């Protein structure tokens, strides 16, 4: 897992590798840092290889926090693994209003 931090205003917060309960604490620290230094929240989840409930919860928490702070929230290029979870929970519209979510099932 790696986290890239840059100071540009629209710089994404990038999560690599697994987003699970084993990594949740550390990734939460990064999220808090990022929020304190950036006026927006763009999450780059393109490199996420595993997403469990703890990881999902973190993404949801980020979204809630951005809404609360009234700052822009965007998911950048989520990996297929992430998209699968979003689809399972019908979260595409809430979290990725701009991107077209993969359609299937319902």
User: Residues interacting with other proteins, by CB under 8 A?
Assistant: 21-22, 24-25, 27-28, 32, 49-54, 56-58, 60-61, 64-65, 85, 88-91, 105-106
Minimum distance of other proteins from residue 42's CB (angstroms): 18
Which one, of 83, 4, 11, 79, lies nearest residue 41 by Cα?
Answer: 11
Closest approach, Cβ 98 to other proteins, in A, equals 20
Helix pair angle (53-69, 24-37), 10° resolution = 20
In the complex with other proteins, which residue's Cβ is closer, 1 or 8? 1
Report in angstroms how near the CB of residue 12 gets to other proteins at its nearest: 20
Cβ at position 80, least distance to other proteins in Å: 11
Q: Which is nearer to other proteins, 24 or 75 (CB)?
A: 24
Residue 32 or 77 with smaller CB distance to other proteins: 32
Q: From CA 70, how far away is CA 75, in angstroms rounded?
A: 16
The total of other beta-carbon atoms located within 10 Å of residue 36's CB is 7
d(CA 85, CA 64) in angstroms, rounded, equals: 18
Q: Is the dihedral of CA 15, 16, 18, 21 positive or negative?
A: negative
């Amino acid at each position: 897992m790696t986290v890239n931090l840059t100071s540009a205003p629209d710089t994404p917060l990038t999560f690599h590798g697994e987003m699970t309960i084993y990594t949740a604490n550390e990734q939460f620290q990064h999220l808090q840092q990022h929020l304190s230094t950036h006026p927006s929240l763009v999450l780059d989840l393109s490199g996420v290889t595993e997403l469990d409930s703890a990881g999902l919860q973190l993404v949801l928490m980020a979204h809630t926090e951005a809404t609360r702070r009234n700052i822009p929230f965007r998911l950048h290029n989520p990996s297929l693994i992430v998209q699968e979870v979003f689809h399972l929970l019908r979260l595409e519209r809430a979290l990725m209003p701009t991107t077209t979510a993969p359609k299937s099932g319902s």
